Amino acid sequence: ASRLAQRVDKKHENKQIKEYLDSMLEDMADNLQIFMPQPQTQMPGVMPLLPEADHFQPYQVNLLVDNSEQKGPPVIIEAYPTYRNIFGSIERVVDRAGMWRTDFSKIKAGSLVKAMGGYLVINLLDAIVEPGVWQGLKRAFKSEKLEIQTYDPFYLFTTSGLKPEPIDLDVKVVVVSDEHLYRMLLHHDEDVKKIFKVRADFDTSMDKNDESIRQIAGFIKMKTDEEKLRPFDRSAVAALVEQAVRMTGRQEKISTSFSAIVDLIREADFFAGQENESVVKEGHLDKAIESRIYRANMVEEHIQEMIDRGTLMIDSEGEVVGQVNGLSVYALGDYMFGRPTRITASTSMGRAGIINIEREADMSGNTHNKGVLILTGYLREKYAQDKPLTVSASIAFEQSYGGVDGDSASSTEIYGLLSSLSQIPIKQYLAVTGSVNQRGEVQAIGGVNQKIEGFYDCCRKKGLTKTQGVLIPESNVKDLMLRKDVVEAVKKGQFHIYPVKTIDQGIEILTGTRAGERKADGTYPKGTMNYLVDQKLRELAEGLKDFGDKPEKEEKKSKGTKKGTGRKKKS
């Protein structure tokens, strides 16, 4: 015992460890008899009711964590953040007598202890839904101490008599979450900003340049080596980079959704294996992309079938007054597609202004309502400088039985109104997308690729006539990442894309009639679109003055007479 005491004095500088070892030596000195051979008291062949006591058990060591071989700070990624896995637990066993027993050797470390001196990474949603985890984490971070307790979420058993000393926390916790969940938690839990003081946003895309393209190529190589997949040739790498750009919807960006990229790598490898190829080629990646679309586009196919049967009425030839092909995007989880929608406008004498039929039917979102209100501002700016804007007009998304939102059809609605007022027909083999401001400038919209491809598919089904096309905002040109078949059709002149900057440019393409610039006296050149619209609005204003005021006065007079002759009801 004296030799062991000397080794304790020399080897251990930690005060707490030294005190513990000193007390252990004293206890061993006081109980030397347990180290002597013990006489056998149990009858041979009879199983004892209780197990014999382990006299050496109190001197054993329960090593919770051993990071001695760790070369750097530990990084623990907890994929299953239950209370037991995060904070640890004191386990219990049932002895032969049916009693619950525990001791210090049953203390188990959780991820917080395993990550001491390093980092613990958890998912916010997983931590919130697990009972007790989020509140326990906040308590631990506030006190900077961890207490390992018996894990019993339903309090079915009495707690153990063990109460380990709190452990001083020296760990950085990284919580991963999406933006919506983080903001919602920040709104309802004030402790979040007090505990998690460092916030970092991870973008879903990065700039497309030579360096980022090399990084994507390196990522492909790393994944194929890691999962023992077939290597990608240059054409396949280029096609995957192009798909990563298309996923962002912008030519100058590359997607950082690496999980989706990895899925394409695996599926392309599968198709290469089916053809007994040793490398993955561009065609294999194209098959992988087509297969993913095929698995998700059932709704798209059904809508196209209804268009082909004529159930959904879409014209792709001829000219019609007050009717335009708008373009909508349908979002079904991770799959988006575009389809044309017939938008009609009708105008008449009156003071009702522009009536949004979708809004009247409670089927319109706030953004769409705003877009319709902007139309009135545009008409006032353009045509009501020398007369009041007195018109009743209605706009409708025909055969639309769900909600409508977004302002990407506001330019389409203006074209329909101008056509209805001027009685100049609009070419039905053209479709339109783009929002607009009160100055008549066409603004960028989202989903431009899906919208173009949706109208192209409809035209292709009915037969391409080399006249069909889509009007898009000029500011969306840099976002074009179209399918290969659409690009080929545009190259061959079978399909057209018209970038427009203003409403005047768009109406000239849609009608073939010159828009006309406002002259110094505030009028427009005769025969132009703006002249015809301006004249029609003037006629409506004068007609309302001639025929609208008298009935209105008579109605007021009639109402006043009724009020004067009526009897008051006594209370």
- Taking only the tens place, the pLDDT of each residue in 84-117 is 899 888 777 766 666 667 777 778 888 898 998 8
Looking at the structure, tell me whether residues 337 and 398 fall in a common domain.
yes
Give yes or no: residues 270 and 315 share one domain: no
Amino acid at residue number 359: R
291: containing domain = 205-296
pLDDT, residue 541, reads: 87
pLDDT of residue 565: 42
- Say yes or no: 272 and 312 in one domain: no
Inter-residue contact 390 to 544 (CB < 8 Å): yes
* Same domain? 424 vs 499: yes
Token digits for 42? Answer: 């149990």
Q: pLDDT tens, 360-369?
A: 777 778 888 8
CATH code at position 472: 3.30.230.10
Give the pLDDT band of residue 289 (cuts 50, 70, 90). very high
Say what the pTM is: 0.77
Is the confidence at residue 301, as pLDDT, over 90?
yes
The better pLDDT of the pair 567, 328 is held by 328
Residue 2: the pLDDT is: 55
- pLDDT band for position 240 (50/70/90)? very high
Residue 160 pLDDT grade (very low, low, confident, very high; cuts 50, 70, 90): low
Q: Which of 170, 202, 234 is the last residue of a domain?
A: 202
Q: Chain-centre distance of CA 431, in angstroms?
A: 28
Tell me what pLDDT residue 554 has: 46
66 lies in some domain: no
CA atoms within 13 A on the CB side of 247: 21
Q: Which helix (H) or strand (E) holds 490?
A: helix 484-491
Rounded-to-integer distance, Cα 149 and Cα 84, Å: 9
pLDDT of residue 150: 76
Provide the CA 134 distance to its chain's centre, in angstroms: 24
pLDDT in tens, 475-523: 999 999 999 999 999 999 999 999 999 999 999 999 999 999 999 888 8
Same domain as 137, residue 104: yes
- List for the chain the helix, strand, coil content (%; round to 5): 45, 15, 40
Q: In this structure, are 240 and 350 located in the same domain?
A: no
Instruction: Report strand pairing: 172-176 vs 119-123.
Output: parallel
Token representation of residue 440: 């008549």
Q: Is residue 44 part of a domain?
A: no
Number of domains present in the structure of the chain: 4
CATH of the domain at 162: 3.40.50.300
Residue 213 lies in a domain: yes
Same-domain check for residues 22 and 169: no
Sequence-distant (≥ 6) Cβ neighbours of residue 17 within 8 angstroms: none
Residue 121: its pLDDT value, please?
95
Please choose, from the candidates 345, 291, 333, 293, the residue with its C-alpha nearest in 3D space to the C-alpha of residue 454.
293
DSSP 58-69: GG--------TT
Q: Nearest CA to 165 among 16, 333, 380, 25?
A: 16
pLDDT at 155: 54
Q: Are residues 8 and 120 in the same domain?
A: no
pLDDT of residue 562: 44
State the virtual CA torsion across 276, 277, 280, 284 in degrees, nearest 10: -50
Pair 171, 116 in one domain = yes
Residues contacting 311, CB < 8 A, separation 6+:
none
Say yes or no: 288 and 347 in one domain: no
> Is there a domain that residue 350 lies in?
yes
CATH of the domain at 221: 1.10.8.60
